[in-house]
Chains A and B, each alone.
Chain A
């Protein structure tokens, strides 16, 4: 059922990177590539499976050398799709990649639809649906942490746990059904207390999984951090130093940054969306007033606050006023800037809320101490990733909904059991939870779920 057509696509994200891979899958993959490469000891037709060789890609129409590429052969059934798969690893940027792809298409391959490679892998029994879901996350993962979580999920740890909950609920449903169908025989009613305790335990387990899904989203999408501080303490300089590009306008004139400027940086192995804000001070004009309102909004939405202080000055009333605006439980990193100048700020004067967090002295200008800031922030984020075997879960929006609904169904079951409702009603809720958990693991999925999954794949995987 794998289809008889051979498909091809560029399988690395389209971007400015120098290297790109073109992947082919299907019965004609070998002959198509053979038509573009020279005959010789490295002929793709005669080489064994799972070998890579430096091969000249030649336009058969003109005889012109298009690229020198690493060509890897994976013969059926030992490939991702269980079909013959060839990967052409080109070296020379997007135009060359396009040229090679066009040659492959001219040779008889069809451009792959989004997700078609994985769809073939799925249809050939190579991967199951949960794994397919994890593959999406893997493709879309922007960081190592996300990739690790997705990889662990692809191995089936999460499904195993959800399946265990599902089995437990199936057991409960069976007890409820027996109490209904065999009430005239030896089976008495289900012990309501025990039933509720079991439902509660599963509910708590799901709750815990949901927290890990939340963590997964943070790892997947990255954290949001906001840089705040008085005017001209070096907020934009710090952002630029972290991002190593001139995203925010930096000038010695206080109050230059009047809007919120965003930049995406990697701190440790976690992507962080950092927002730079206008300086915090008593408004001088309308534009600044608006900037301050935006700062407050950014503070409210941030996972992490980087408070920039000027180390060359003592702590000001405005600094303390700003700290007073922080939400309770805000995770704060104090970056005491300008460490290249004589230091006047005494860290002991900082309020407890800041002192308890991370304090780093650095110089955005010289780059001194930036590493400590990155490492310190990464360390705080690392707490989100928790201990071994308790990784974050990369779940699609649909899957998160499945867990939320399962949790709600179990609450319904508890309420029905506590109220004067019969087993046939409690059973409705328990079965509902079973359906939702089943959907999470790829059981009982409707067609719409399937099409959603496969359409979310990047072309080329």
Chain B
């Protein structure tokens, strides 16, 4: 324990993935060395100053339910919080918070420092090598050497990062920070294949230079909202507004006149960027008919300093950026503090990883976060947590944790990464989850907290709270099933049920879209049941029929998950398309279900595989 060169786990990088990985590893009892190029930028937010969103918000809830840090950290440092998709069903509702990005970073650093089993060291990693049978060695540019059983690479966009503004290109991981030049080579020497992606961020302007009166204020929600299941949120807490304004014809003319200077046109950025996060240049090219695009002006913290211009991502030359911004209503006098830029970086092709995020080729080597080709803090945190948990389980000699697609968005995220060959930075959407009606923000604790508790990441108290919620929900459902309601007793909904039998079970009434649980609270004697459990019972009841339909839909897929793929020589199955043969040989799926999700493997290919596997298995060989 006194040897300060030997650790159980080394994390390279201290972003959202690295922090969750290190904290989970240490909290599960492992000795962790956390290295970072700049330890003043722990859990930094180099792009948007917000956490959560549709799909992403669900991920944050799941990270929290499993015992991760992101939910608590944002709850403590947010400047605004709201529910998105509030007018839609609970399955697609999600929280999003605007963060005070400096406070967020400082608080996370404090939590890292408070963890006695984590050592924090500034340094650029220059080598990752095998050291003996079961160990890996990491060396920094300063000459420090650490060995560990597991190494979690969570270097974000730093690998051979190259920043682009107009025609100017220079090495850099993100604004104000140098790139990591050696980790790419170290990973390649270990046998990992790398790809190259690109991402971009809009300019930041001085908060004192806008005219907020000419923009539409976007306040947060008044109700008590919180990401963490351990917290309750506060009604009417102090929040800060965002502002909405729009681009206009003048803006679009500036862009059109200067398109030749845009890196996407000049070809100085050739790596694939995310389609769902287009630059304003791209939007103007792709949607010539639109005469305006929204611009959300978001504070980066409580201090009235910098504002983030969501919707104005560009890496045009600075003079053009200034013209674009100043053409927008309310931003005529805006002063750029940090220009927008694009960054191209190496990433690890994630199909080389297992569902634990450990590499297939190098036992003990894990990768998590943007290095795996994802985008977003939430996706990074989720991976960091899973990598940290699995590295710790490996050190402790325990079975790995694999989160299934049916269990959590985290399972969807990781399965997609290791199965589909991603060709653009991966962002979570609710539509990626085939179990969407089940994987909700409101029940992430019921789904995952028992797992977190078993791992030692969730306190007994928190676990008991979750059990109570479930028990209350079940009790509520039982009461609803047992209560017969005379429709006459329910003024207000009499019209609706006029054509129905005069006596109904309360639970059947609740299935109707216009009936809420509050209408039934008195008659079904739900007084003692907490609001949270009631709400849970209401959602489960209303969704029940549709969840069943959804499960029926994926039943076939689920059966495919159960069909293990023996070592198959795909090249010999002539009926498979050439692409399918290559992809299957490359990704080596564990089950037919996973095979079916590989891009380029068609349902026809799956039928062929099914028949081929069966032909291979001698008939009647099961007795």
Contact = CB atoms under 8 A, between A and B. Distances in A.
Nearest to B84: A184
A129, A181, A454 interface centre (most CB from chain B within 10 Å):
A181
Nearest to B550: A428
Contacts of B154: none
A419 B89 CA distance: 13
Nearest to B608: A123
Interface stretch (A54-62, A227-235, A439-447): A439-447
A1 B513 CA distance: 54
Contacts of A122: 575, 608, 611
Contacts of B436: 424
B437 A180 contact: no
A124 B573 CA distance: 8
A424 B615 contact: no
A434 B608 CA distance: 21
B84 A1 contact: no
A431 interface: yes
B88 A422 contact: yes
Given A1-B575, A128-B604, A186-B293, A181 B54 contact: yes
Given A186-B293, A445-B603, A428 B549 contact: yes
A82, A423, A428 interface centre (most CB from chain B within 10 Å):
A428
B91 to A, nearest CB: 5
B431 interface: yes
B553 A435 contact: yes
A422 to B, nearest CB: 4
A125 interface: yes
B270 interface: no
B607 interface: yes
A177 B612 contact: no
A419 B511 CA distance: 13
Interface in B533-572: 546, 549-550, 553, 556, 559, 563, 572
B549 to A, nearest CB: 5
Nearest to B429: A181
A420 B431 CA distance: 21
A123 B575 contact: yes
A389 interface: no
A420 B607 contact: no
Nearest to A179: B88
B514, B549, B572 interface centre (most CB from chain A within 10 Å):
B549
A129 B431 contact: no
A432 B553 contact: yes
A119 interface: yes
Given A123-B611, A177-B429, A183 B575 contact: no
A423 B88 CA distance: 7
Interface in B595-614: 602-604, 607-608, 610-612, 614
A99 interface: no
Contact of A129 (B84, B437, B607, B614): B607
A447 B54 contact: no
A450 B612 contact: no
A343 interface: no
Given A428-B550, A450-B610, A454-B611, A420 B513 contact: yes
A424 B430 CA distance: 10
Contacts of A444: 556, 603
A420 B513 CA distance: 7
A444 B434 CA distance: 15
Contacts of B96: 184
A125 B53 CA distance: 45
A177 to B, nearest CB: 4
Contacts of B611: 119, 122-123, 450, 454
A180 B430 CA distance: 8
Q: How large is the interface on B (under 10, 10 to 19, 20 to 34, 35 or more residues)?
A: 35 or more
A428 B556 contact: no
B559 A447 contact: yes
B572 A438 contact: no
A2 B608 CA distance: 11
A442 B603 CA distance: 8
A284 interface: no
A130 B528 CA distance: 58
A460 to B, nearest CB: 19
Interface in A1-40: 1-3
B136 to A, nearest CB: 39
Q: How large is the interface on A (under 10, 10 to 19, 20 to 34, 35 or more residues)?
A: 35 or more
Contacts of B431: 177, 180-181
Given A123-B612, A422-B92, A428-B546, A183 B84 contact: yes
B552 to A, nearest CB: 8
A429 B96 CA distance: 29
Interface string A406-429: 000000000000011111110011
A178 to B, nearest CB: 8
A2 B610 contact: no
B494 to A, nearest CB: 18
B574 A124 contact: yes
Nearest to A176: B431
A446 B546 CA distance: 22
A185 interface: yes
A448 B276 CA distance: 39
B437 A82 contact: no
B549 A432 contact: yes
B263 interface: no
A184 B97 CA distance: 13
B607 A181 contact: no
Interface string B425-448: 000011100001100000000000
Contacts of A419: 513
A445 B574 contact: no
B54 A443 contact: no
A144 to B, nearest CB: 30
B85 A180 contact: yes
Nearest to B436: A424
Contacts of A450: 607, 610-611
Contacts of A442: 603-604, 607
Given A2-B574, A82-B574, A123-B615, A129 B604 contact: yes
Given A128-B604, A184-B53, A186-B293, A424 B89 contact: yes
A405 B553 CA distance: 12
Interface string B325-361: 0000000000000000000000000000000000000
B55 interface: yes
B88 A183 contact: yes
B294 interface: yes
B500 to A, nearest CB: 15
Contacts of A186: 293-294
A183, A425, A435 interface centre (most CB from chain B within 10 Å):
A425
A71 B293 CA distance: 73
A3 B576 CA distance: 15
Interface in A151-207: 177, 180-186
Nearest to B55: A181
Given A123-B611, A125-B574, A181-B431, 12 more contacts: A124-B574, A181-B430, A183-B88, A424-B88, A431-B553, A432-B549, A442-B603, A442-B607, A445-B603, A445-B607, A446-B556, A447-B563
25 contacts: A1-B615, A2-B574, A122-B575, A122-B611, A123-B611, A123-B612, A123-B615, A181-B55, A181-B430, A181-B431, A183-B84, A184-B96, A186-B294, A422-B89, A424-B88, A424-B89, A425-B546, A432-B549, A432-B553, A442-B603, A447-B559, A447-B563, A447-B610, A447-B614, A450-B611
